[in-house]
Amino acid sequence: MSEIDDEHEAADKQAGYEPGSGDPTNSASFAPVQEPPGHWLNRGILGVGAASFFSDSGHEFVTSLLPSFLSSTLHSGPAVLGAIEGVSDALLGLSKLAGGPLSNDPSRRAKTASGGYLLTAVATSLIGLSTAVWQVAGLRALAWASRGVRSPARDTLLVSMTPRAAYGRAAGIERAGDNAGAIVGPLLAATLVGLLGIRTTIGLSLIPGLIAAVAIIVTARHARNVLATPVGKRTMGFNLGELRRAGLRRTLLPVSLFELGNLAAMLLILRATTILEAGGRGADTAVTMVILMYACHNAVASATALVGGQLIDRVNPRLVFTLGAGLYVAAYLLFAMDGTHPALLLAGFLLAGAGTGFAETSEQAAVALLLPDRLRGSGYGLLGLVQSFGDLGATVVAGVVWAVFSPTAAFLYAAAWMVAAVISSPDLRTRATVDALR
């Protein structure tokens, strides 16, 4: 193994993770990573951040145009959009779970990540050539499934190149890139669609998508250099029993509660728009104001991901996760109020953005810190499944509560889940926490 892996293995042995010691998370084939002294930020970590930025720019580019494309070009209604997005989101979660076992094997994860990024870019850009709704649905589903399969591979690649003491900062860079892409993509789309038309603009999403694929290919080469000595091929499997014995089930409890209250941004946008219109602002003015607020939301999410990464490495993921869930409680209470002033709506978007940056980064780092390399892909796959289906369930149930009762009730419902996440946050354990309790 390389020097960085040798130091990691020594640290794991000191923590009681000796291969053959009986601990279910150990194996002679596992190549753990522990921090060497010195500089932690390397080309591979920056490559993952760049891939997330450009890829998210590309698919958010199309996501922002999809409602208009379906309604004005293909003459379909909101029910079709909802069905396409619902199926795609479900496929995203399932494909993340499926991608986990592929990512456990270092020889497969690079190909899985690069192939996933490339297929996401191509399928997303081809939507611009669609002449029927079923074509849009199929391409969107393919893009989201590819996006899901690549996610555990990207995350395991990231951790394999990162010193253990910098897992939080590395996760923060990846999350910051993703959230920054969510700002740039829609802004570029809004600028280009008036000049080039909606079909051509959607097609241009291929460019940032291809840049992301190149970035992850370069990153994969760097990862192979870090693991100078091959670990050997690992068998594919979900490893559910080993993950449970390693403590992942308990760690995912607060994450599940958080995701059950993590509403889609579209509900925040809808709530703010209706409040502004009810306050006497015209529809165009209200939409413009909310778009700017949402851009601020994503900017704050990007910045707090970096801050959260620093805090994780200095303290622990649990503190950062608790802070993120608490900020969401405050944000939802502001959105639950009727007749809210625009400044308070902006505050709600900013609080939710900060909550996103802190929570996403801490969830990703917690899995990295809890599991050894040979189980980490499966762990990320389960995390992705919980995130996707939790978010989908949160949005669907909150939408029903909104329709049957009121938007206030919907946001209070979501806030209650966030409070539960705060209460259960002590269960968000890492390997060091588990060791301390033995």
Closest of 81, 411, 79, 423 to residue 262, by C-alpha: 411
Structure token digits, residue 192:
């280009």
CA distance 432 to 316: 10
Looking at residue 338, what DSSP letter applies? T
Least confident of 4-13, 71-80, 252-261: 4-13
Q: What is the pLDDT of residues 85-136, one digit of tens each?
A: 778 888 888 888 888 888 887 778 888 888 999 999 999 999 999 999 899 9
Mean pLDDT on 147-174? 90
Which has more confidence, 229 or 39? 39
Domains and CATH numbers, the chain: 39-235 (1.20.1250.20), 238-433 (1.20.1250.20)
Average pLDDT score over residue span 420-426: 94
Q: How many CA atoms lie within 13 A of 57 on its CB side?
A: 23
Which of 270, 300, 267, 273 lies closest to 289 in space, CA to CA?
A: 273
Please indicate, yes or no, whether the overall pTM of this predicted structure exceeds 0.85. no
155: burial class by Cβ within 10 Å (0-12, 13-18, 19+)? buried
- The length of the chain is 438
Give the pLDDT of residue 49.
Answer: 93
What pLDDT, on a 0 to 100 scale, did the predictor assign at position 188? 86
Residue 434 has pLDDT above 60, yes or no: no
The C-alpha angle 124, 103, 357, rounded to 5 degrees, equals 65
C-alpha 377/C-alpha 243 separation (Å) is 11
Whether the predicted pLDDT of 231 surpasses 90: no
Look at the block and give the residue holding tokens 């990573």: 33
- Portion of the chain with pLDDT greater than 70, in percent: 85
Q: How far apart are the first and last CA of the chain?
A: 29
Amino acid at 364: Q
Distance CA 401, CA 79 (A): 18
Let me know: does 392 contact 93? Beta carbons within 8 Å: yes
Whether residue 8 has pLDDT greater than 70 = no
> Apex CA 175: angle with CA 116 and CA 127, to 5°?
40
Residue among 355, 374, 315, 322 nearest 159 (CA)? 374
The token pair at 267 is 């509900």
Give the tens place of pLDDT for each residue, 339-366: 778 889 999 999 999 999 999 999 999 9
